[in-house]
Amino acid sequence: CENDEEGQYQDLARKLDALCRILFRKENLLIDYTSPEEAFAPLEKALSGFDDHLFQEAVTEGHFTPGVLSCSEAFETAGSVQYVCRAGNFRHAGLPYTGVLRLLKVMMGYDYLWNQIRVKGGAYGCMTNFGRSGDSYFVTYRDPHLKQSVDVFAGAAAYIAGFEADERTMTKYVIGAVGESDVPKTPPEKGVYGLTMFLTGTTMEMLQKSRDELLHASVEDVRALAPYAEALMKEGAFCVIGAQEKIRSHQEMFDETMPLFSQSREEEEQG
């Protein structure tokens, strides 16, 4: 700061001080504590008066919502395989969350994506998810293909719309979906689970509703999820990390391409 002729460091310090006074306030305090119920009292005693040490003077309130940018971008590497992702949000299309989406995740992983991406396409793996928030994705990893995999993603809605399965297969998918969530949790895992429910406004009633939807899911219920895959693909969020040659051969698919690492970093890693 000795050579701060234009006062930029002092100005930065003032801004950081103002930011601290906005953030570190009682109304912004959130405490997450996991323990047996009998241990709550000592915590309350330890925290007694803590908020008296937080900033309390009036501040100018504001609201900021970060914008979501949907773009198609690729990051080039010296490798020979791709990591391909298409993402979107079905709630943007006005579609509600349903527990049948948990079955869809398992079904796509065991059947459509697995057969098309892993078995026929030769990728090391693939995955998908349709979350309660609406955020959804199709992903491949260590994939020798690029456009071929995106075409598989694009065909997902048609596959779902024409989905066929007997009772035994449906039961297998339901069991797989239940098994992913109904697992014993350690105390830290219970704490994270409870905090996530609190932050997202998820209630036990909502969890039970989605569970009932999953347990009673029919083939027709799965077919009705085709618009969810369409909504994912429609948003256009597309990202690839992969071989430079493969990416440049499909340059028209991207708004922007760039090296994942600087040239010196890649040379160092190859060495």
Render pLDDT for 136-145 as a digit per residue (tens, 0 to 9).
999 999 999 9
Q: How far is CA 240 from CA 124, 183, 228, 260, in A?
A: 15, 33, 22, 10
SS3 of residue 111 by DSSP? coil
Name the pLDDT band for 45 (thresholds 50, 70, 90): confident
Supply the pLDDT for residue 255: 94
**Residue where the block lists tokens 């830290």:** 188
Other Cβ atoms within 10 Å of 132 Cβ, number: 17
Supply the pLDDT for residue 4: 58
Supply the pLDDT for residue 2: 54
The domain 72-270 is placed in CATH, from the list 3.40.50.800, 3.40.50.1000, 3.40.1260.10, 3.30.830.10, at 3.30.830.10
Those residues whose C-beta lies under 8 Å from the C-beta of residue 126, and which sit 6 or more positions away, are: 109, 113, 114, 117, 118, 138, 139, 140, 141, 143
Those residues whose C-beta lies under 8 Å from the C-beta of residue 237, and which sit 6 or more positions away, are: 70, 71, 72, 86, 87, 88
The overall average pLDDT reported for the chain is 91
Checking DSSP bridges between strand 237-243 and strand 72-77, what pairing results, if any? Answer: parallel
Relative orientation angle of helices 204-215 and 100-110, to the nearest 10 degrees: 50
Supply the pLDDT for residue 249: 96
Nearest-Å Rg of the Cα atoms of the chain is 24
> Can you give the residue ranges of every domain in the chain?
8-53, 72-270
Give percent above pLDDT 70 in the chain: 94
| Sign of the Cα pseudo-torsion (6, 7, 9, 11, in order) | negative
Closest listed residue to residue 228, CA positions, set 135, 152, 139, 147:
135
Backbone angles phi, psi at 137, to 5 degrees: -160, 155
- Counting Cα atoms < 13 Å in the Cβ hemisphere of 236 gives 8
Name the pLDDT band for 50 (thresholds 50, 70, 90): confident
Name the region of 8 (left: φ>0; alpha: ψ -120 to 50; beta: rest).
alpha
pLDDT at 44 over 70: yes
CA 79 – CA 4 distance, rounded (Å): 45
pLDDT digits (tens, 9 = 90+) for 146-193: 999 999 999 999 999 999 999 999 999 999 999 887 788 999 999 999
